[in-house]
Amino acid sequence: MSLTIKHLNTDASFLLTFQPILPFPPTPGQSRNFTIVIDPWLSGPSNIIHPFFSSTKNKEASCISSLTELPEPNLIIISQSMPDHCHKSTLTTLPKHGGKFLILAEPSAAKLIRSWKHFDPSQVLTLKEWTKPKNNTSSTNIHHISLPPLTTQGSPGEITITLLKEGDASGLKNAIAITYLPPTSGIDLDLDLLTPPSSPFSPTHPNSSTTSIQHPTSNSPQTLSLLHIPHGISLPTLLPFLTSHHPPPNTNTNTNPFLPLTALLHCFDTIQNPKWLGGNICTGAPSGIPIAERLQAKLWISAHDGDKEVKGVANKKLRIRRWERGEIAERVSPRVGTFGGRDGDGNGDGTGGTEVLVLGAGEERVVGLGGLWAERMGGSGSGIGRGVGALSPGSWDMGIGDGDETEVEMESESVGIGNGNVKFHAS
């Protein structure tokens, strides 16, 4: 079982591929993977109201220019209605008719997408904000997707998607919580036979990466979990949901799927505007670090931090505090086990820490359970340093026209970028 996280751009667009443990090779053309695209913005600017007011463009090209270049995803999630998350020219590259995909969008984003009259109304679903359950009842605002069993002897799986909001004035502080309980085959697997030789990388090498090998069986699947928080959110906003979340009924697991958290997609940098222009835009590492520590996150990937050309009067007074990968890694490794581990002893798993990565456009990382081994993948980004398109003091081009000056304040530290990238494969 694995989760592949592919960065489609250098902002907040990701392709997630969830793969179950298969007892036999899949039939050609009949993949049992479940794929999700989050907040696709692949080309062109992101304009708010009018380019004169705010216009943003990624300096590095996305790895694809159209969603039609991907195999059709099962689901597209839109976390908010701002154009860098709900990008019309990107989404409308998808066909008007005949697609099997669904779009699951935050309420204002769903309303906006329907107003385009591009998609069949049945394909656009509203993802309502999660509310705390009352009287020991489950919230109806968790979206459930059932996954059929791999064989007639197996058990069904489930995807859950939840929208959490902080309720800030800007409306940017949203989180998408995803869990994946894989369908099973009912066949016990000897994963020792599937585990390849040990990695040639030393665990202490700065360009190496290790993943703890665990051995689930088809009768006791574990759950993968992910939080997508491109603008940041406070830990207290998440805790009521995280502490009340339970595994699906009729499963053999009684653990909270967010402990430990499989992957955190969260901004590194803090971005601030005057209050009258929206105030805080990205909370950055100061809010991400407590989340990674408390949930014992295995992996933290930078989101919404790529180089940008930013113009417009709304961006004239932006202040940016940049956080480097190493600076964050020092804080979240070793993992702080204060939230309790899967064994319920309250001490966490006591091993390792949170791996912190920056992925360039088109780079990916695979995490999960089962036999995993490392393979060097070519590419100009390392995932170890700031990554491809590393921000530098001059990497944000600001202004509303030629010769305009800005009052952007930016703090930065030097960053080293390694060679190559480490990609994991699941057996």
Give 204-235 pLDDT, tens digit per residue.
333 333 333 233 444 456 899 999 999 999 99
Q: Residue 246's pLDDT is what?
A: 64
Q: What is the separation of C-alpha 94 from the centre of its chain, rounded to a whole number of angstroms?
A: 22
Q: Residue 98's pLDDT is what?
A: 80
Contacts 24+ apart (CB under 8 A), 22-27: 22/150, 22/185, 23/150, 23/151, 23/185, 23/187, 23/189, 23/218
- What's the predicted TM-score (pTM) here? 0.78
Q: Is residue 349 within 8 Å of 337, Cβ to Cβ?
A: yes
| Maximum mean pLDDT: which of 3-17, 132-146, 315-329 | 3-17
Distances in whole angstroms, Cα of residue 28 to Cα of each of 25, 31, 161, 426: 9, 7, 29, 18
Query: In the sheet where 263-266 sits, what is the strand order?
Result: 142-147, 157-165, 174-181, 224-229, 263-266, 299-302, 355-357
Q: Residue 66's pLDDT is what?
A: 96
Lookup: tokens for 253: 């697991």
Indicate the pLDDT class of residue 35, thresholds 50, 70 and 90.
very high
**The total number of residues written for the chain in this structure:** 427
- Sign, Cα dihedral of 84, 85, 87, 93: positive
Q: Residue 325: CB partners within 8 Å, gap ≥ 6?
A: 268, 302, 356, 357, 358, 384, 385, 386, 387, 415
Q: Is residue 399 within 8 Å of 359, Cβ to Cβ?
A: no
Phi, psi at 292, each rounded to 5°: -60, -40
Give the side-chain half-sphere CA count within 13 A for 153: 7
Indicate the pLDDT class of residue 375, thresholds 50, 70 and 90.
very low
Q: What is the separation of C-alpha 8 from the centre of its chain, rounded to a whole number of angstroms?
A: 11
Phi-psi region for residue 399, left (φ > 0), alpha (ψ -120 to 50) or beta?
A: left
Q: Residue 214: CB partners within 8 Å, gap ≥ 6?
A: 222, 369, 370
Architecture of domain 2-426: 4-Layer Sandwich (3.60)
Coil, strand or helix at 215: coil
pLDDT above 70 covers a percentage of the chain that reads: 70
Lookup: tokens for 239: 């805790």
Q: Does the structure show a pLDDT above 60 at 192?
A: no
What are the tens digits of pLDDT across the range 147-161? 999 999 999 999 999
Q: What is the DSSP string of 138-201?
A: PPTTEEEEEE--SSTTS--EEEEEEEEE---TTS--EEEEEEEE----S----GGGT--PPPSS
Nearest-angstrom CA–CA distance, 279 and 270: 11
Q: Is residue 70 within 8 Å of 116, Cβ to Cβ?
A: no
Lookup: tokens for 189: 């697997």
Q: Residue 312's pLDDT is what?
A: 72
* β-strand pairing of 54-58 with 308-311: antiparallel
What's the burial of 198, exposed, middle or buried (CB within 10 Å: 0-12/13-18/19+)?
Answer: exposed
Q: Is residue 270 within 8 Å of 321, Cβ to Cβ?
A: yes
Query: In the sheet where 308-311 sits, what is the strand order?
Result: 46-48, 54-58, 308-311, 397-399
**In what helix (H) or strand (E) does residue 294 lie, and over which residues does it extend?**
helix 285-294
Q: Residue 247: CB partners within 8 Å, gap ≥ 6?
A: 181, 223, 253, 254, 255, 256, 257
Q: Where are the domains of the chain?
A: 2-426
What are the tens digits of pLDDT across the range 245-303? 766 555 555 578 898 999 999 999 999 988 888 788 999 999 999 999 999 999 999 99
Comparing 79 with 341, the larger pLDDT belongs to 79
